[in-house]
Copies of this chain bind each other. A is one copy, B any other.
Amino acid sequence: MALALKALHTSFAVHFLAVVGAILVLIWCISFRGGLAWDSSNKNLIFNLHPVLMFIGFIIIGGEAIVSYKSLPLKKPEKKLIHLVLHAIALILGIIGIYTAFKFHNESNIANLYSLHSWLGIGVIVLYGIQWVYGFLVFFFPGGTPTIRSESLPWHVLFGTFVYILAIATAALGYLEKLTFLENSGLEKYGSEAFLVNFTAIVTVLYGTFVILTTLCQSPAEDEYSYSAI
């Protein structure tokens, strides 16, 4: 069932929210939190890489990977290549982003893996990796039999959608967790930084919503090209 909307049109909202969200998270981490660094005596600068890599690298690029397959007016092999390459970039940046959180914790003597954010985050990256490897093997190289492909497709879509929604929820948990730490250390609850972080979280949720909505809309390929299930 496709909704009576064009995926190409809803994908414009996706790109717009991606730009707004990327600007907001950079303003937060650079202007409010002091900037980004891989190595520094100020360990907070190492932490700041985490939201930037997870949101811009993992959530935004991962969302664009999902949307690209549905919205681009290209032939299937080209869209498949864009889809799997963007997802690979998102996965790699997500893994580096998770590494920066451990690096910050370890260099600051903070405990690892006790919070719901960290638990779900590890779950998301593992499931995302499994989904990518399965998709690569069945739909790209060496490729499954036609039966395996057609039976796998709805589950590929469903499982990918589930993992992506879980990624958005995990991001929301991350914003709330970090802001709660900052507020417990004296940051104003109704101050400009608190509003900035909460609005960034809401833009993240809206971005995820439009990514999923786009997957339910009509692909241009259905009108213009010979299109069939993988």
Contacts and interface: CB of A to CB of B under 8 A. Distances in A.
A162 B209 contact: yes
B1 A180 contact: no
A116 to B, nearest CB: 5
Interface in A135-186: 154, 158, 162, 165-166, 168-169, 172-173, 175-177, 179-181, 183-184
Copies in the complex: 2
A188 B168 CA distance: 28
Contacts of A189: 111, 114
A176 B3 contact: no
A117 B190 contact: no
A131 interface: no
Contacts of A175: 116
Nearest to A185: B184
Interface residues of A, number: 36
A201 interface: yes
A180 B174 CA distance: 12
Contacts of A162: 209
B158 A3 contact: yes
Residue with the greatest number of chain B CB neighbours at <10 A, chosen from A119, A165, A180, A184: A180
23 contacts: A1-B1, A3-B158, A114-B194, A115-B179, A115-B198, A116-B175, A116-B176, A116-B201, A116-B202, A119-B198, A120-B172, A120-B205, A165-B165, A166-B205, A168-B169, A169-B169, A169-B205, A173-B173, A173-B176, A176-B177, A177-B180, A180-B184, A184-B184
Q: 5 tightest CB-CB pairs across the interface, nearest first?
A: A114-B189, A169-B169, A116-B176, A180-B180, A184-B184
